[in-house]
Structure 1
Amino acid sequence: MDKLVSLQSFVRVVEQGSFAAAARAIGQSRSQVNRAVVALEDDLGVQLLNRTTRTVSVTPSGRAFYQRAKAILTDLDEAEESIRENQEKPAGDIRINAPMSFGTLHLGPALVDFARMYPEIRVELALNDHFIDPVADGFDMTVRISRPTETLALIDHEIIPIRRVICASPDFLHKNGEPTDISDLATLPCLHYGNLPGGSTWKLTGPNGPVSVQVNGVFCCNNAEVLRDAAIAGLGLVELPTFIAGAELQTGRLVTVLCNYTPPEIFLYLLYPPSRQLSSRIRLLVDFMHDRFGGQPHWDLVQ
C-alpha cells in the first residue's frame, strides 16, 4: 500500500480521534483507513494505536511517530505550494507562537494588520511564555525574545535587538532616593521576574565589565507587565524591556536609573523549520515583521 496514503490515514485518525471520523475527513471508507494504518504498523513493526470497540488511543510510539509524520506531510504541502506559480493570492494557515507580553502589546495588533493585508491567509496566534519546539508542537513560526540559540533543525532569523533598562517611578525615587551605585540595589526595594533562573540576582554590564548583584527583592512575578505596573505604583526598582516600559518612559511615569549598567543583550527573532522557507505566506510574514519591527523600534523613539 502507498506509504503516503498510510501516513495521511494515520495522522487523520490521531487528529480526528476515530477511524470513522478520519474516513469522513479524507473521503474514504473506514475499512480503507484501517487497512492503511495496519499496513503502516506492519511495515514499522510497532503498534501505533490502541483499539477497542469504542475508542482509539495513541501508543507512546504512535505519539512520537505522529509528530514526524505530521511534519513530513506539512513539508510536502509546503513544497507543493512553492511551485504553484499561478497562485494569484497567498493563502493557507500560519500557526504562530509568541511570548505573552510582546504578543498582547505589539505582535497581536501587528498580525491584525497582516490579516487585513492578506485575507486569504488564516492566522492562528498562541501566546505563552514557555519554551516551545516549533516542529514538535506544530507551529509554522515561533517569535522569541531572548539570546538566540543555534540549531540545525530551525532557521534563526533575527529582527532587532531588544533594549532593557533599570527604572522606577518618580514618586519612588523622591521617597527613597535615586541609586548612584550598583550596590544600592542590595538595599533599595526591587521587583524581579519570577521565571529567571537567577531569581533575584541581576546580571549587568557596567563600566568595569560584567557584574552580578543580589537585589533586595520585595516582589516577583512571571509577567513583566505586572512588574511594570508595580513600578509605576512606586513599589520598587525594576529591570524591564523597553517594548513593555517604552510608553511609560516617554510620558515620565517611569524614569531610567543606573544608565551605565545594562542587562545582557537579547533579541527579537523568529524560528521556523527550513522547509517553511519555501512557503510564500511565511516569506510574506518574515518581510512584514521586518517592516513592522525592524530598524529603530517605535517604543524607543522618544526618551
Structure 2
Amino acid sequence: MNWNDCEMFCHVVEHGGFSAAAHYLGHPKSSISSAVQRLEQELDTRLLERTTRSVRTTEAGEILYKRAAHLFTNLHEACNEALSSRREVAGTLRIAAPYEFGAHHLGPVACRVMETYPHLQLQIDVEHRQINPHVEPYDIVFAMLEHQLPSSSIVIRRMFSLERGLFTSPALLRQMGQPLHPADLKSWPLVVSSADTEWTFTDKDGVDHGVPIQNPRVISANADFRLQAATSSFGITRVTANFCAPAVSRGELVRVRLPDYTCEPLRIYALLPGKRMVPEKVRYFLEALAAYSHALR
C-alpha cells in the first residue's frame, strides 16, 4: 500500500473535501484526487461518496479513517519530538486574529518573540471572518467566541479576557440622556459588530440581562469604523476599553456606565488544530502572550 495515498485520503476526510485538503497541504487538487483513486483501486473498494457539493465517507472509508488518521498524526509528532531537542525555533509562524485584538495586543508580543528568536518569521493576518484552522494553513487562529464553540477536533485555549464598555459621543449622550438599565438602550441608535446578536450585561447579583440587536444604525466587522461612527454621533457602541482609550482621552468619546450593571468582557481564544503535540514556535508564542496578558492585570 502507498501510505502517502492513505494519508492524502485522511486529509480529505479531516478537511471536508478535496479543495480544502489541497489548500491546506499546498498540493494541486488533481494530485489529491489521484491519490484517493489509487487507494480505492488498490483496496478494491469505494472510500468516498462524491457529489458536486460535498464528500462523505463510505462505511469502508470511515473504518479506514478512524484506524489510520491518528497513526499519521503520531508519526509526525514522534519525528518532530525527536528533532526538537536539537532544532532552534525558526521557520514561519502563521497567525490570524481579529482586528480589535490583533492591532493592540499581538504587536508587542510579536516583537518580543522575534527579538528572542531571530530566525523566526511571523505572518499575522488581521481577519474579520471566522477561520477554521483545519482548513486554512494557520498555526494559531485567535477568535472572539461568545456563544458557539468550534468542533471538539480543535484545541481551544482561553488567552485573554478584555474589559468592554459602552461608548458614545458627548453630544449624543446629552441628546439621549443617561441610560439607567440595559433595556434603555432599545431607544438608542446602536453601532454593532456584524457578529453581534445581543449585548449582555450582568447585574450586581450575577444575573445576565440581554439587549437584542434590532435595527442597528451601523453594522461593521471593523472596530475602527465602529469607533468612527460612535465618535460622529451615529450611535452607541460596545468595544474594549483599551481600544478606544485614545478617543476618550481626546474627549471624542465618553464611557456610558449603567448603574449596577457591567458589560460582558471580550474573551479571546487561541484555536489550534487538534493535535496533541504543539510545535515549539506555537508554544513559545502562546507562553509569551500569556505572560503579556498576566502583566496587564
TM-score w.r.t. structure 1 length? 0.70
Deviation at 1:256, TM superposition (A): 1.4
Alignment of 1:235 onto 2:273: no
SS in 2 for 1:244: coil
Q: Distance in 2 between matches of 1:242 and 1:106?
A: 13
Structure 2 contact 169–230 (Cα < 8 Å) conserved: yes
Partner of 1:184: 184
Q: Distance in 2 between matches of 1:118 and 1:238?
A: 39
Partner of 1:270: 270
Structure 1 contact 157–270 (Cα < 8 Å) conserved: yes
Partner of 1:97: 96
Of residues 209, 212, 215 in structure 1, which corresponds to 2:210?
212
Q: Distance in 2 between matches of 1:161 and 1:2?
A: 47
Q: Distance in 2 between matches of 1:165 and 1:46?
A: 55
Q: Distance in 2 between matches of 1:275 and 1:134?
A: 12
Q: Distance in 2 between matches of 1:250 and 1:74?
A: 51
Map residues 1-303 of structure 1 onto 2, 5 A cutoff: 1-4=1-4, 7=7, 14=22, 15-17=26-28, 39-42=38-41, 43=43, 45-46=45-46, 60=55, 76-108=75-107, 110-147=109-146, 149=149, 152-198=152-198, 202-207=199-204, 209-213=207-211, 217-259=216-258, 260-275=260-275, 277-296=277-296
Please identify the structure whose Cα radius of gyration is greater. 1
Task: Name the CA shift for 1:247/1:70 in 2 (closer, same or farther; >3 Å).
Answer: farther
Q: Which moved more, 1:209-218 or 1:87-96?
A: 209-218
- After superposition, give the CA deviation of every residue in 1:126-182 in whole Å (9 maximum; x if it has no partner): 332333322233432221222473854233222221211012122333444333444
| Count of residue correspondences | 273
- After superposition, give the CA deviation of every residue in 1:30-71 in whole Å (9 maximum; x if it has no partner): xxxx7x6654232373378x9xxxxxxxx9469x99x99999
Amino acid at match of 1:194: S
Structure 1: any 5+ residue segments left out of the alignment? 23-33, 51-58, 298-303
Q: Distance in 2 between matches of 1:86 and 1:119?
A: 18
Deviation at 1:108, TM superposition (A): 4.8
Q: Distance in 2 between matches of 1:2 and 1:222?
A: 46
Q: Which moved more, 1:6-15 or 1:179-188?
A: 6-15
Q: Distance in 2 between matches of 1:121 and 1:74?
A: 24
SS in 2 for 1:275: coil
Q: Distance in 1 between matches of 2:197 and 2:270?
A: 23
SS in 2 for 1:262: strand
Partner of 2:15: none
Q: Give me the identity figure in percent.
A: 21
Task: Name the CA shift for 1:183/1:279 in 2 (closer, same or farther; >3 Å).
Answer: closer
Q: Distance in 1 between matches of 2:231 and 2:87?
A: 50
Structure 2: any 5+ residue segments left out of the alignment? 12-17
Task: Name the CA shift for 1:257/1:81 in 2 (closer, same or farther; >3 Å).
Answer: same
Q: CA RMSD in A?
A: 4.1
Q: Distance in 2 between matches of 1:243 and 1:77?
A: 41
Structure 1 contact 167–256 (Cα < 8 Å) conserved: yes
Q: Distance in 2 between matches of 1:289 and 1:167?
A: 27
TM-score w.r.t. structure 2 length? 0.71
Deviation at 1:284, TM superposition (A): 0.6
Structure 1 contact 167–257 (Cα < 8 Å) conserved: yes
Structure 2 contact 2–39 (Cα < 8 Å) conserved: no
Amino acid at match of 1:232: T
Structure 2 contact 5–38 (Cα < 8 Å) conserved: no
SS in 1 for 2:153: coil
Q: Distance in 2 between matches of 1:128 and 1:71?
A: 31
Q: Distance in 2 between matches of 1:94 and 1:78?
A: 18
Deviation at 1:6, TM superposition (A): 5.6
Q: Distance in 1 between matches of 2:203 and 2:10?
A: 57
